[in-house]
Chain A
Amino acid sequence: EPEVTQTPSHQVTQMGQEVILRCVPISNHLYFYWYRQILGQKVEFLVSFYNNEISEKSEIFDDQFSVERPDGSNFTLKIRSTKLEDSAMYFCASLLGRGRYEQYFGPGTRLTVT
Protein backbone atom coordinates (compact mmCIF):
# COMPACT_ATOMS: atom_id res chain seq x y z
CA GLU A 1 0.00 0.00 0.00
CA PRO A 2 1.40 3.44 -0.88
CA GLU A 3 2.35 5.60 2.06
CA VAL A 4 3.47 9.08 2.95
CA THR A 5 7.09 9.25 4.08
CA GLN A 6 8.79 11.92 6.17
CA THR A 7 12.41 12.72 6.91
CA PRO A 8 14.08 13.04 9.28
CA SER A 9 12.24 11.09 11.96
CA HIS A 10 13.83 13.26 14.63
CA GLN A 11 15.44 16.67 14.30
CA VAL A 12 17.19 18.50 17.09
CA THR A 13 18.02 22.16 16.51
CA GLN A 14 19.00 25.24 18.45
CA MET A 15 16.68 28.16 18.91
CA GLY A 16 16.95 30.62 16.05
CA GLN A 17 18.12 28.04 13.53
CA GLU A 18 16.29 27.21 10.31
CA VAL A 19 14.89 23.74 9.79
CA ILE A 20 13.39 22.03 6.79
CA LEU A 21 11.11 19.07 7.27
CA ARG A 22 10.62 16.87 4.25
CA CYS A 23 7.70 14.81 3.08
CA VAL A 24 7.04 12.62 0.08
CA PRO A 25 3.27 12.42 -0.39
CA ILE A 26 1.58 9.57 -2.22
CA SER A 27 2.41 10.05 -5.88
CA ASN A 28 -1.00 10.67 -7.45
CA HIS A 29 -2.38 12.77 -4.61
CA LEU A 30 -3.27 16.38 -5.26
CA TYR A 31 -3.79 17.94 -1.81
CA PHE A 32 -1.05 18.26 0.78
CA TYR A 33 -1.09 19.29 4.41
CA TRP A 34 1.08 19.93 7.41
CA TYR A 35 -0.16 19.39 10.95
CA ARG A 36 1.65 19.50 14.23
CA GLN A 37 1.10 17.95 17.64
CA ILE A 38 2.72 19.32 20.74
CA LEU A 39 3.34 16.55 23.26
CA GLY A 40 0.13 15.64 25.05
CA GLN A 41 -2.00 18.02 23.01
CA LYS A 42 -4.32 17.92 20.00
CA VAL A 43 -3.24 17.55 16.41
CA GLU A 44 -3.33 21.08 14.94
CA PHE A 45 -3.72 22.09 11.31
CA LEU A 46 -0.96 24.30 9.93
CA VAL A 47 -1.42 24.61 6.17
CA SER A 48 -2.98 23.06 3.11
CA PHE A 49 -1.48 23.17 -0.38
CA TYR A 50 -3.10 22.55 -3.73
CA ASN A 51 -2.15 23.34 -7.32
CA ASN A 52 1.22 24.71 -6.21
CA GLU A 53 -0.13 27.25 -3.82
CA ILE A 54 -1.33 27.54 -0.26
CA SER A 55 -5.09 27.05 -0.11
CA GLU A 56 -5.51 27.65 3.61
CA LYS A 57 -3.32 28.33 6.62
CA SER A 58 -3.91 28.57 10.33
CA GLU A 59 -2.93 31.31 12.76
CA ILE A 60 0.04 29.17 13.79
CA PHE A 61 1.44 29.36 10.25
CA ASP A 62 2.99 32.81 10.52
CA ASP A 63 5.79 34.44 8.53
CA GLN A 64 8.33 32.08 10.08
CA PHE A 65 6.77 29.15 8.23
CA SER A 66 6.80 28.38 4.53
CA VAL A 67 5.98 25.40 2.35
CA GLU A 68 7.24 24.32 -1.01
CA ARG A 69 6.79 21.56 -3.52
CA PRO A 70 10.07 21.99 -5.34
CA ASP A 71 10.15 19.04 -7.68
CA GLY A 72 6.72 17.45 -8.01
CA SER A 73 7.42 14.78 -5.44
CA ASN A 74 8.71 16.40 -2.25
CA PHE A 75 6.67 18.68 -0.02
CA THR A 76 8.66 20.67 2.51
CA LEU A 77 7.94 22.74 5.58
CA LYS A 78 10.52 25.35 6.51
CA ILE A 79 10.71 27.11 9.83
CA ARG A 80 12.99 30.10 9.41
CA SER A 81 13.97 30.85 12.98
CA THR A 82 12.87 28.16 15.39
CA LYS A 83 11.51 28.91 18.84
CA LEU A 84 11.28 26.63 21.85
CA GLU A 85 7.53 26.42 21.38
CA ASP A 86 8.00 24.95 17.90
CA SER A 87 9.02 21.67 19.52
CA ALA A 88 6.39 19.18 18.40
CA MET A 89 5.63 16.25 16.10
CA TYR A 90 5.04 17.50 12.58
CA PHE A 91 2.85 15.38 10.36
CA CYS A 92 2.54 15.63 6.62
CA ALA A 93 -0.64 14.34 4.97
CA SER A 94 -1.93 13.96 1.45
CA LEU A 95 -5.32 13.49 -0.13
CA LEU A 96 -6.14 12.01 -3.51
CA GLY A 97 -8.57 14.72 -4.54
CA ARG A 98 -11.96 16.35 -4.09
CA GLY A 99 -14.67 13.82 -3.49
CA ARG A 100 -12.20 11.69 -1.57
CA TYR A 101 -12.07 11.93 2.17
CA GLU A 102 -9.26 10.00 3.77
CA GLN A 103 -6.11 11.97 4.34
CA TYR A 104 -3.05 9.77 4.54
CA PHE A 105 -0.66 10.84 7.27
CA GLY A 106 3.06 10.26 7.42
CA PRO A 107 4.85 8.90 10.48
CA GLY A 108 5.89 12.38 11.58
CA THR A 109 9.07 14.27 12.36
CA ARG A 110 9.80 14.97 15.99
CA LEU A 111 11.30 18.45 16.18
CA THR A 112 13.13 19.37 19.36
CA VAL A 113 14.26 22.96 19.75
CA THR A 114 16.82 23.57 22.49
Chain B
Amino acid sequence: LAKTTQPISMDSYEGQEVNITCSHNNIATNDYITWYQQFPSQGPRFIIQGYKTKVTNEVASLFIPADRKSSTLSLPRVSLSDTAVYYCLVGTRGGDKIIFGKGTRLHILP
Protein backbone atom coordinates (compact mmCIF):
# COMPACT_ATOMS: atom_id res chain seq x y z
CA LEU B 1 0.00 0.00 0.00
CA ALA B 2 1.34 3.41 -0.96
CA LYS B 3 2.16 5.64 1.96
CA THR B 4 0.37 8.97 2.15
CA THR B 5 1.36 12.23 3.82
CA GLN B 6 -1.15 14.94 4.64
CA PRO B 7 -1.18 17.90 7.06
CA ILE B 8 -2.06 17.00 10.62
CA SER B 9 -4.46 19.90 11.00
CA MET B 10 -5.89 22.91 9.20
CA ASP B 11 -8.06 25.84 10.19
CA SER B 12 -10.33 27.79 7.88
CA TYR B 13 -13.32 30.09 8.05
CA GLU B 14 -16.90 29.59 7.04
CA GLY B 15 -17.55 30.36 3.40
CA GLN B 16 -13.96 29.74 2.33
CA GLU B 17 -12.74 27.09 -0.08
CA VAL B 18 -10.51 24.56 1.64
CA ASN B 19 -7.85 22.56 -0.15
CA ILE B 20 -6.20 19.60 1.55
CA THR B 21 -3.20 18.16 -0.26
CA CYS B 22 -2.02 14.60 0.10
CA SER B 23 1.35 13.27 -1.08
CA HIS B 24 1.65 9.70 -2.33
CA ASN B 25 4.99 9.42 -4.10
CA ASN B 26 4.91 5.63 -4.37
CA ILE B 27 1.47 5.29 -5.90
CA ALA B 28 1.15 2.22 -8.14
CA THR B 29 -0.39 2.08 -11.58
CA ASN B 30 -3.49 0.26 -10.33
CA ASP B 31 -4.03 2.47 -7.29
CA TYR B 32 -6.96 4.82 -6.83
CA ILE B 33 -7.05 7.82 -4.51
CA THR B 34 -9.93 7.89 -2.06
CA TRP B 35 -10.95 10.39 0.58
CA TYR B 36 -13.04 9.68 3.66
CA GLN B 37 -14.48 12.08 6.23
CA GLN B 38 -15.05 11.33 9.91
CA PHE B 39 -17.10 13.47 12.26
CA PRO B 40 -16.51 13.10 16.01
CA SER B 41 -17.96 9.88 17.42
CA GLN B 42 -19.14 8.72 13.99
CA GLY B 43 -17.92 6.19 11.47
CA PRO B 44 -15.87 7.31 8.46
CA ARG B 45 -17.83 8.32 5.39
CA PHE B 46 -16.69 8.02 1.79
CA ILE B 47 -16.39 11.40 0.07
CA ILE B 48 -14.77 10.94 -3.32
CA GLN B 49 -12.45 8.75 -5.36
CA GLY B 50 -10.39 9.37 -8.47
CA TYR B 51 -7.66 7.96 -10.65
CA LYS B 52 -6.43 10.97 -12.62
CA THR B 53 -7.28 14.56 -13.59
CA LYS B 54 -10.38 15.86 -11.85
CA VAL B 55 -13.42 14.35 -10.22
CA THR B 56 -16.32 16.36 -8.84
CA ASN B 57 -19.40 15.36 -6.91
CA GLU B 58 -21.93 17.20 -4.78
CA VAL B 59 -19.59 17.26 -1.79
CA ALA B 60 -16.09 17.92 -3.10
CA SER B 61 -13.65 17.99 -5.97
CA LEU B 62 -10.51 15.92 -6.29
CA PHE B 63 -7.61 17.19 -8.35
CA ILE B 64 -4.91 14.74 -9.43
CA PRO B 65 -1.91 15.93 -11.47
CA ALA B 66 -0.53 13.89 -14.34
CA ASP B 67 2.23 12.26 -12.27
CA ARG B 68 -0.35 11.20 -9.64
CA LYS B 69 2.20 11.68 -6.85
CA SER B 70 -0.16 13.98 -5.01
CA SER B 71 -3.82 14.90 -4.91
CA THR B 72 -5.89 17.77 -3.56
CA LEU B 73 -9.29 17.51 -1.98
CA SER B 74 -11.22 20.74 -2.46
CA LEU B 75 -14.21 21.62 -0.31
CA PRO B 76 -16.12 24.63 -1.66
CA ARG B 77 -17.58 27.20 0.73
CA VAL B 78 -17.14 25.28 3.94
CA SER B 79 -19.46 25.58 6.91
CA LEU B 80 -19.02 24.79 10.59
CA SER B 81 -20.43 21.31 9.93
CA ASP B 82 -17.44 20.48 7.73
CA THR B 83 -15.30 20.31 10.85
CA ALA B 84 -14.03 16.73 10.74
CA VAL B 85 -11.01 14.53 10.11
CA TYR B 86 -10.28 13.90 6.42
CA TYR B 87 -8.38 10.80 5.38
CA CYS B 88 -6.48 10.35 2.12
CA LEU B 89 -6.12 6.71 1.09
CA VAL B 90 -4.35 5.08 -1.82
CA GLY B 91 -5.02 1.53 -2.96
CA THR B 92 -6.77 -0.77 -5.37
CA ARG B 93 -10.49 -0.94 -5.73
CA GLY B 94 -12.86 -3.16 -3.87
CA GLY B 95 -12.62 -5.83 -1.22
CA ASP B 96 -9.45 -4.70 0.49
CA LYS B 97 -9.19 -3.47 4.04
CA ILE B 98 -8.74 0.26 4.55
CA ILE B 99 -5.57 1.34 6.32
CA PHE B 100 -6.33 4.68 7.89
CA GLY B 101 -3.61 7.17 8.75
CA LYS B 102 -4.02 10.03 11.18
CA GLY B 103 -5.79 12.17 8.60
CA THR B 104 -6.12 15.94 8.54
CA ARG B 105 -8.14 17.49 11.34
CA LEU B 106 -10.02 20.37 9.69
CA HIS B 107 -11.42 23.00 12.01
CA ILE B 108 -13.83 25.54 10.56
CA LEU B 109 -14.13 28.79 12.44
CA PRO B 110 -17.12 31.16 12.35
B100 near A43 with CB under 8 A, answer: yes
A104 near B46 with CB under 8 A, answer: yes
B94 near A97 with CB under 8 A, answer: yes
Q: Once the chains are docked, how many angstroms separate the CA of A93 from the CA of B100?
A: 14
Q: Once the chains are docked, how many angstroms separate the CA of A97 from the CA of B99?
A: 18
Quick check: which of A44-52, A63-71, A78-86 contacts chain B, the rest being far away? A44-52
A103 near B46 with CB under 8 A, answer: yes
**9 A-B contacts, Cβ less than 8 Å apart?**
A4-B43, A35-B98, A42-B101, A48-B97, A56-B97, A91-B44, A100-B94, A101-B93, A103-B46
Closest 6 CB pairs of A and B: A105-B43, A102-B46, A43-B100, A98-B94, A45-B97, A91-B43
Nearest residue (CB) in B for A100 is B94
CB within 8 Å of B: which of A95-114? 95, 97-108, 110
Give the one of B96, B102, B103 with max A CB within 10 A.
B96
We find that the number of chain A residues with CB closer than 8 angstroms to chain B is 30
Quick check: which of B3-11, B34-42, B60-68, B76-84 contacts chain A, the rest being far away? B34-42
Known contacts A48-B97, A50-B95; 20 additional CB pairs below 8 A are A31-B94, A33-B98, A42-B100, A45-B98, A89-B41, A91-B44, A93-B98, A95-B95, A99-B94, A100-B94, A101-B34, A101-B46, A101-B93, A102-B46, A103-B44, A103-B46, A103-B98, A105-B44, A106-B43, A110-B41
Q: Once the chains are docked, how many angstroms separate the CA of A102 from the CA of B44?
A: 10
- Chain A residues with Cβ under 8 A from B32's Cβ? 101
CB within 8 Å of B: which of A11-49? 31, 33, 35, 42-45, 48
A102 near B49 with CB under 8 A, answer: yes
- Chain B residues with Cβ under 8 A from A44's Cβ? 100
- Quick check: is B54 within 8 A (CB to CB) of the other chain? no
